[in-house]
A and B are shown apart, each in its own frame.
Chain A
Amino acid sequence: MKPFAYARPGDVAEAVRDVAAEPNAVFLGGGTNLVDHLRLGVARPDLVVDVRTLTSREVTDLPGGGLRLGAASTNSQVAADPRVRERYPVLAQALLAGATGQLRNMATTAGNPLQRTRCVYFQDVTTPCNKREPGSGCSAVGGYTRYHAVLGTPAALPDPNAPETCIATHPSDMAVALAALDAQVQVLGPAGERTVPFPELHRLPGDDPSRDTVLEHGELITAIDLPALPAGTRSAYRKVRDRASYAFALVSVAAVVTPDGELRLALGGVAHKPWRATRAEEVLRGQQLTEDAVRAAVAAELAAAQPQPGIDSGNGFKIPLVARTVLATVRGLLPEEQS
């Protein structure tokens, strides 16, 4: 592990100043992702600024029925909060589908969505990776792509040598639920406060795969707000993985159905970011939410999906798996007579 300085400032403003002042500085939350990366040499900061005790650990009610999740509230705590369980079952389920009890006890509300995208080659400093070493190339293309993206990628076989190529997926379950819930991210940065709609927090690789989110250097998440949902809204999270527990999603689905039949849908395990299925939502807008309509909408969403070839047959199976998992998840949220 590369030696680094460790700072524990007195408040969030100081923490933001500390990180902003040092180009190679990072915030430390629960550490469940960063500490792994420090050990592996994937993250090599000069300064680690510990914010675990600086931001709120509370889950508080917002006017109108929403909830504010303090940045330092833990995944276990949020998953167990009766208000979350009652009003946002999709979030409680997503949290409990992630990692293990021990990790959920450490991982925080702000840290979980900010975990890096996951890729075996990103984790291995001996292989080229545009995200870890910009411009070095992408080892994943044509390699072990089982957990890689099918949406938001330029082509079925991107150029592995191009500096923008990255087909990694974002591994957070929580983030998929937050994307479906239209959560709002409260951010404090060197330039002050701002609010980022959760579906816009994460980014596609674009021309810079090294960046996973739109946050600027020194910007710190202080809270995540869950907007109120209409009474009678139903929601669910379904995670499909290679073993029953403690595995990243092959595909996951967060679905929210309002009483007037509006579907909000987000997908995990399929893209560089939690994938809000806006195309499917558009197709369904104003339509009766039937299985056939959902099937057609998901097909529209997946029209641009690109299977990645690779060892062990690649990841083309994810495309039908997404469609099937969405259907199964939404079916469970429809009133009896519609399903």
Chain B
Amino acid sequence: MTDLLQPRAIGQDLVRRDGEAKVRGTATYAYETPVEHPAFAHPVTATIARGRVTAMDTAAAEALDGVLAVLTPFNAERLASTEDAEYAVLQGQDVGFRGQLIGVVVAETSELAREVADGIAVRYDEQPHDSELSADRPDLYAPAQVNAGHETDTAEGDVAAAMASAEVTLERTYSTAMYHNNPLEPHATTGLWDPAGDGFLTLWDSTQGVHPDRAAVCQVFGLQQEQVRVVCPYVGGGFGSKGLPHANVMLTALAARAVPGRPVKLALTRQQMFFLAGYRTPTIQRMQLAADSRGRLSAIAIDVVEQTSRIKEFAEQTGVPTRMMYASPNRRTTHRLAALDVPIPSWMRAPGECPGMFGPEVAMDELAEELGIDPVELRVRNEPEVDPETGKPWSSRNLVRCLREGAERFGWSGRRAHRDGDWLVGTGVASSVYPTMRQATSTANVRFEDGRYVAEIGAADLGTGAWTILPQITADALGVDVADVDVRIGDTRYPTASVAGGSSGTNTWGSALVVAAREFRTKFGADPRDGDEASGDVDQAAQDDTHSPYAFGAQFVEARVNADTGEIRVPRLLGVFGVGRVINPRTARSQLIGGMTMGLSMALHETSAWDPRIGQVANHDLAEYHITVNADVGEIEAHWIDEHDPYVNAMGSKGIGEIGIVGTAAAVVNAVHAATGVRVRHLPVTLDKLLPALD
């Protein structure tokens, strides 16, 4: 049990502290950082998917007026560490995927840098590439572990035997597409190398974590932490793609070191983001369910096939939610990877849970249909008493309450598939889940300064609300009015903070802030003097290891399909979540409906159309890579139940940044099935997949 805060500021729907600056356009983002006399860098990228760069003709470029530096694998400085192939930019001539960085031009203007970079003639020794994922590739392999340190395979009981003896079984293959995070703000950095003394590198970078960013740069360049400062007050979206630095950050640092004393700005183009900023692997999910006639599962299994890059492994933990979601004595999960000549996949909002709750939640709907059981009821009947994976009790699990309340609010019991004019109407449901995680390191300082309380921590606000909610937590931990608290984040000059990832930011940073604030009160009492300061580490916060902490939710969808054209519309999307105590309803709702919208986007619109002949995403811009727009979203509601969880942290809060995207796509598929009778098992749901079934 943690010593829960008495909520005063917590729970208030305070407006965003950074809102006004953003609306007025005065909030500075990485690329727009005001610096003296900036230079501009533009990458040179490979136009083959596999092979070697044998020559680059840079002489003409270097001689041009206004060109400051042209770096290639043939002349770039040697990095201290090339262990991570993604970060080893310009360290070798090998090309591992199309679009890989093979050079950079630094010039007086961005237009010149780009024109020169695009004009550099490159000779290659091209080799045949292999970039097509399929479930029957002979070279699939089991990674040592999958993302977030999960086991690759798990098994309990005997799924095959259960499948052989069950009253009802279901065996289906589902797939999710390749997705690119596509935050509005591209991956961008302003870098300045000051050569004085041992040298000092400043990076104004768009990142989900200034400290992890700095750690990676220090390792790659062999610099001490004291030699690098990373600054990032605002982020124009990340969705995981700025959680780990990508190669563009290392390229900017290289470019900056090539023109000492000149700040260098580098922003990836939207097209380059489809090669260099990570993406979600496509997944192929073979599901098996066995049940008795009343719908009690006797087996659940998921066998996942997905891809990684040949030069760096990333194994999405797609099978993980199946391990704990429903009660079943026999369970199996496996992950197999194909290492291809493709860009490097990485985190995208709810890695693992997002794709990994697609197959299972559509399969549950298919099973419900087969059994003639209400899909809400089927889920309720498979509610596990304890975490099936660990045997631990839940810190709190309110999936059933979310399903029941969602059904009530949505009008689920009155649902009926019907035709309304030209539109076929159906409804669907799916469950959501996301683990409640806390990172191991984060430190916060609390200081009394000019009559105000100032908290410092190198946290990041990606638009999530950290600027606003960290003061709320600090205020309650200090027992003061939130208006008297300032929080400073987004700079490595502040104490170390973990990445804004895994929906762990508030849990981690908030816990450190609470420790620091309590320490402050213990040391200095209620009447501190100017300059009094205390610090706290997250590892000093109470940590419960005896319970299994997860957030749960239920999503309900109304889908309409045009009987003539197959066009799909989703006029209603409703989610109910059990996410512990909500710290700020305004920013929380924004996170949840943002996640749900992204889930809708995954269901209907997003797909990176992979062209295996060339080895790239064919639709690599925002005109062709469709993201749900305003006109696609009708009524969208996010609700939460009043959930008390004394085990997770002092705030009683669970992460909310990711759960909204989990399950949405399955609910959409299930609703479209109700409307049309067509079960689309391969995302996205597009009209061409429905047309053949329309009369």
Binding partners A and B: yes
A residues near B (Cβ < 8 Å) are 1-3, 41, 120-121, 123-127, 139, 142-144, 146-147, 240-248, 250, 311-313, 317, 320-321, 324-325, 327-328
Decide if A320 touches B691 in the complex (CB within 8 Å): yes
Q: Which of A143, A243, A250 is packed against the most chain B CB atoms within 10 Å?
A: A243
Q: Which of B118, B569, B694 is packed against the most chain A CB atoms within 10 Å?
A: B118
**Residue among B565, B607, B623 making CB contact with A240, cutoff 8 Å:** B565
**Chain A residues within 8 Å of B629, by CB:** 243-246
Give, as a whole number of angstroms, the nearest-CB distance from B401 to chain A: 33
Decide if A328 touches B564 in the complex (CB within 8 Å): yes
B residues near A (Cβ < 8 Å) are 47, 111, 114-115, 118, 271, 422, 564-567, 569, 604-605, 607, 609-614, 618-621, 623-624, 626, 628-632, 686-688, 691, 694
**Residue among A41, A121, A143 making CB contact with B118, cutoff 8 Å:** A41
**Residue among B47, B566, B630 making CB contact with A321, cutoff 8 Å:** B566
**Chain B residues within 8 Å of A146, by CB:** 609
Chain A residue at minimal CB-CB distance from B630: A245
Decide if A243 touches B609 in the complex (CB within 8 Å): no
Decide if B626 touches A243 in the complex (CB within 8 Å): yes
Decide if B632 touches A242 in the complex (CB within 8 Å): no
**Chain B residues within 8 Å of A125, by CB:** 118
Decide if B607 touches A243 in the complex (CB within 8 Å): no
Q: With contacts A1-B114, A143-B613, A311-B611 known, is A325 near B565, CB below 8 A?
A: yes
Decide if A327 touches B564 in the complex (CB within 8 Å): yes
Decide if A242 touches B630 in the complex (CB within 8 Å): no
**Chain B residues within 8 Å of A147, by CB:** 624
Known: A147-B624, A242-B686, A248-B623. 14 other contacts (CB 8 A): A1-B114, A3-B115, A139-B614, A142-B613, A144-B618, A146-B609, A241-B567, A242-B605, A243-B629, A244-B629, A311-B611, A324-B565, A324-B691, A325-B565
Give, as a whole number of angstroms, the nearest-CB distance from B50 to chain A: 15
Chain B residue at minimal CB-CB distance from A313: B688
Q: With contacts A139-B614, A240-B565 known, is A328 near B422, CB below 8 A?
A: yes
**Total number of residue pairs linking A and B with CB closer than 8 Å:** 84
Bound CA–CA A122/B607 (angstroms): 20
**Residue among B47, B564, B694 making CB contact with A325, cutoff 8 Å:** B564
Give, as a whole number of angstroms, the nearest-CB distance from B690 to chain A: 10
Chain A residue at minimal CB-CB distance from B564: A328
**Residue among B111, B604, B613 making CB contact with A243, cutoff 8 Å:** B604
Give, as a whole number of angstroms, the nearest-CB distance from A332 to chain B: 10
Q: Which of B612, B618, B629 is packed against the most chain A CB atoms within 10 Å?
A: B618
Decide if A2 touches B618 in the complex (CB within 8 Å): no
Q: With contacts A244-B631, A311-B612 known, is A143 near B626, CB below 8 A?
A: no
Decide if A328 touches B688 in the complex (CB within 8 Å): no
Chain B residue at minimal CB-CB distance from A147: B624
Q: Which of B118, B611, B628 is packed against the most chain A CB atoms within 10 Å?
A: B611
Decide if B686 touches A120 in the complex (CB within 8 Å): no
**Chain A residues within 8 Å of B686, by CB:** 242
Decide if A245 touches B618 in the complex (CB within 8 Å): no
**Can you list 24 residue pairs at the A/B interface with Cβ under 8 Å?**
A1-B115, A120-B619, A120-B620, A126-B47, A142-B613, A143-B618, A144-B609, A147-B624, A241-B567, A243-B605, A243-B631, A243-B632, A244-B631, A244-B632, A245-B630, A246-B631, A311-B612, A312-B609, A317-B688, A321-B565, A321-B566, A324-B691, A327-B564, A328-B564
**Chain A residues within 8 Å of B618, by CB:** 120-121, 143-144, 311
**Residue among B564, B612, B632 making CB contact with A245, cutoff 8 Å:** B632
Q: Which of B114, B630, B686 is packed against the most chain A CB atoms within 10 Å?
A: B686
**Residue among A142, A244, A250 making CB contact with B687, cutoff 8 Å:** A250
**Chain B residues within 8 Å of A241, by CB:** 567
**Chain B residues within 8 Å of A127, by CB:** 614
**Chain A residues within 8 Å of B271, by CB:** 124
**Residue among B111, B566, B628 making CB contact with A1, cutoff 8 Å:** B111
Chain A residue at minimal CB-CB distance from B632: A244
Bound CA–CA A320/B620 (angstroms): 28
Give, as a whole number of angstroms, the nearest-CB distance from A244 to chain B: 4
